[in-house]
Amino acid sequence: MSELLQITFHDAVACISINRPAKRNALSDALVKALRDCFETLPESVKAVVLAGEGAHFCAGLDLAEMRERETGEAMHHSRMWHAAFERVQFGLVPVIVVLRGAVVGGGLELAAAAHIRVAEESAFYALPEGQRGLFVGGGGSVRISRLVGVAAMTDMMLTGRVLDARDGHRAGVSQYLVGDGEGMAKAMELARKVAANAPMTNYGVMHVLPRIADQSIQDGMITESLMAAVAVSDPDTRGRLLAFLDHKANKVQFKA
Tell me the catalytic residues.
110, 130
Sign, CA torsion 248/250/256/257 = negative
| Number of Cα atoms under 13 Å in the Cβ half of residue 103 | 20
CB 48 within 8 A of CB 9: no
- For β-strands 177-179 and 117-121, DSSP reports them as parallel
DSSP string, 150-162: -HHHHHHHHHH--
Put residue 192 in one of left, alpha, beta given phi > 0 → left and psi -120 to 50 → alpha.
Answer: alpha
Cα–Cα distances (Å) from 166 to 104, 113, 204, 206, in that order, read 10, 15, 29, 26
